[in-house]
Structure 1
Amino acid sequence: MLYYSTHLHATSNQWVTFVHGAGGSSSIWYKQVRDFQKHFNVLLVDLRGHGKSKKPFYEKLKQYSFDVIGDEVIDVLDHLKIKSTHFVGISLGTIIIRELTERYPQRTNSLIMGGAVMKLNLRGQVLMRTGALLKSVIPYLLLYRFFAFIIMPKKKHQESRNLFINEAKKLYQKEFKRWFTLISEVNPLLTFFRINDSKVPTLYIMGSEDHMFLPSITKLVGDHPSARLHVIKDCGHVVNVEQPHIFNATAIDFLKSISPKQ
């Protein structure tokens, strides 16, 4: 089972489950836990190969697909007897929570998609294909640094870049290659998501400087009025790290607006 940690509220029966992106770990949510725990029970998970989910069992698993990874998150919910939860994802984590919601809508109360990935533009597709070709000849950390700078290029994004690069250093090289291959094959799944709009209440929180992904999210929300979009000014891709106070307040207000009073 994946490594997880819980932070319980004294009286709430509402859960919020946080899912990080590729190369990260549950530690990237350190600016969220205190604020969210004031209102909800909080569940943090480390995806396979990340953080403390590095047991030999995961080294032996060669099947890496979004449905398998999503099922591992569901296994944690089952273990804790959590029937349904709000999900918060960042970057690649948004794909994971969106995919498992497609298959288990009854387990998802709402989706908060931070720095959401819903379409790779031409630049992104070229970068992913190039990386897939070079992943066996270029040291994985150098490749990760390169992509971190492409996605988070500005000086003000340095904290986010450093956080993800430091977490990526903890990955095994084989693990990185498996995840990178998974990412490079993501576009067909994203096309499926755009065609099959989720009926689950969804909030997208994006940075105004997230040049790689914001344009496609803006169009997506425009096509689906039931979804909400909040754009944080002067902010890049990793919105929960760069602007945690705005991210937390926006997300918690959204959850309160759709959650029954307790």
Structure 2
Amino acid sequence: MTLGDIQTRNNVKVSGQGEQTILLAHGFGCDQSMWHYIVPELAKQYRIVLFDYVGAGNSEILAYESEKYSTAHGYKQDILDIIDELELKDIHFVGHSVSSMIGMLAAIERPESFNKFVMVGPSPCYINEPGYVGGFEKSDISELLTMMEMNFTGWASYLAPIVTDPEKSPQHTKDLENSFASVDPQIAREFAEMTFLSDHRESLALMTIPTLILQCSEDSIVPLEVGEYLHEHLSGSLLKVMNVKGHYPQISEPLKTRELIETFLRHKC
């Protein structure tokens, strides 16, 4: 696959200036536009690389393969492809939600390519297990997946206000609902299954890149216990709990989110 193919496949966009690169990876039901509130300021100091996962945004939907993308490793490989083809080195990776784990798998496989790592609203496992609070029962996930199959538009309008703060910013909630609804229903469901049924807890001990964990104080998707669990199991990690409602602080509190990211990136570990 050539550079042009990968750029088209993942709608890769490069901007900004600076010697170091920040690679930003969006979460479930979204695309690279979810970073647009924080990118302009970051681009003043860093080279910014944005992309869409296959099936999201303006990616090449014909490149989607259900078998490849049934696990996080398929998406991980796309990240490594982008790193290789753009010849990225010593990068700072910022991943939202499930991208925190996808990116972590890439960093475990290729640690020499990474400098620092930021996880925004991450979770290694969304399902409650004995001795572990993930936030959902298996039956909750089954109901979510069934809703996506039976009434995809209704699912989008149901989930958007749950993961945002509609009272504070109804427009953000509407934008997210539109983003959810724009994804191909089959791809969205398969992405949701990959996300919510994955368990990456055993991989945490293999992560060696200095990591900032950004946890929202009122996140209906990721409870506070998850951030604390990650902090305990990721060696050398830093946990920052933001006084934010919702799962998208880069949208609801972009200034604070960017400041925390920049402070961490400037700090010498």
TM > 0.5 between the two? Answer: yes
Match of 1:44 among 39, 50, 68: 50
Counterparts of 1:95 and 1:148, CA distance in 2: 22
- Number of matched residues? 252
1:167 match = 179
1:142 match = 154
In structure 1, give the amino acid aligned to 2:155.
L
Structure 1 residue 43: Cα displacement: 0.4
Counterparts of 2:46 and 2:38, CA distance in 1: 12
Cα pair distance change 1:62/1:168, threshold 3 Å? same
Structure 2, gaps ≥5 residues long: 1-5, 129-134
Match of 2:231 among 221, 241, 244: 221
Would you say the 8 A contact 2:11–2:59 is kept in 1?
yes
Structure 1 residue 106: Cα displacement: 1.5
Identify which range, 153-162 or 28-37, moves more after superposition: 153-162
1:6 match = 14
Would you say the 8 A contact 2:162–2:246 is kept in 1?
no
- Secondary structure of 2:207's counterpart equals coil
2:98 match = 92
Question: What CA deviation, in whole Å up to 9, does each residue of 1:136-193 have, x standing for no partner?
Answer: 3x1223223333344346523644433322112221122112212212321x2x2223
Provide TM-score, normalisation by structure 2. Answer: 0.85
Matches within 5 A, 1:1-262: 1=6, 2-9=10-17, 12-58=18-64, 60=65, 62-64=67-69, 65-122=71-128, 123-125=135-137, 126-136=139-149, 138-152=150-164, 155-156=167-168, 158-186=170-198, 188=199, 190-194=200-204, 196=205, 198-213=207-222, 214-222=224-232, 224=234, 226-258=236-268
Q: Percent identity?
A: 19
Would you say the 8 A contact 1:203–1:229 is kept in 2?
yes
Counterparts of 1:225 and 1:79, CA distance in 2: 30
What is the RMSD of the two structures over their aligned residues, measured on CA atoms? 2.2
Identify which range, 78-87 or 241-250, moves more after superposition: 78-87
Structure 1 residue 110: Cα displacement: 1.2
Would you say the 8 A contact 1:121–1:212 is kept in 2?
no
